[in-house]
A and B are shown apart, each in its own frame.
Chain A
């Protein structure tokens, strides 16, 4: 069956370091992959989308990579700040016309001052 895996353990890092979050998937051939940020008690907020034919996408301090051979996406936040502390969700959409993304469970990021 199709599966999206994100590390269930929280990632703790020191302010100023680069945070790297992982999204692995199996039995999928996604056309694209999205990353969202979710704060406690709030709805997810869209951050970045990367297509299957793109290796890397950047937006300010954010960088996403997409390796369809490894079936993995990495989400990087450089120069992390305590305000970056949140849960980060990846979402995949299967190729073939479906436009409804399937979400992973998310990984909590805690940036310590």
Chain B
């Protein structure tokens, strides 16, 4: 079955540490996204990528970094510069590159907490 896999499901970060969240999809989608979800808040866009080797900042990119070396993979690094990283992180994919009104397919998230 096609889908999006996020790992790990739970992650703990120590002060000053960078951590990387994995996101893999086998849906053959061009576009991939990272969102952050805090309690009682909507999904906020961190980064997105329309095509391999290209990505753009979303609304809250500070303290995060991404790479898109393969179509299937879009890892997110939460750096030590992100002072409030505790949240539920969601990865999504869709047919992109100018194709509008396509639904997004989401992974089951990674919950990041501070030790």
A-side residues, CB < 8 A to B, are: 4, 8, 31-32, 34, 41-46, 49, 51, 89, 91, 93, 97-106
Apart from the given pairs A32-B100, A51-B101, A89-B43, 4 other A-B contacts in the complex at a CB distance below 8 Å:
A4-B42, A43-B109, A46-B103, A102-B42
Contact B42 A105 (CB under 8 A): yes
Contact A99 B42 (CB under 8 A): no
> Once the chains are docked, how many angstroms separate the CA of A51 from the CA of B104?
16
25 A-B residue pairings within 8 Å (CB atoms): A31-B101, A32-B100, A32-B101, A41-B108, A41-B109, A42-B109, A43-B90, A43-B106, A43-B108, A44-B43, A46-B103, A49-B103, A51-B101, A89-B42, A93-B101, A97-B100, A99-B31, A99-B94, A99-B96, A99-B98, A100-B48, A101-B104, A102-B42, A103-B35, A105-B42
B-side residues, CB < 8 A to A, are: 4, 6, 31, 33, 35, 40-43, 45, 48, 90, 92, 94, 96, 98-109, 111
Give the chain A neighbours of B6 by CB distance below 8 A.
43
Output the nearest chain B residue to A101 by Cβ-Cβ distance.
B104
Contact A98 B108 (CB under 8 A): no
Contact B101 A49 (CB under 8 A): yes
Which of B33, B40, B42, B107 contacts A100 (CB under 8 A)?
Answer: B33
Contact A100 B103 (CB under 8 A): no
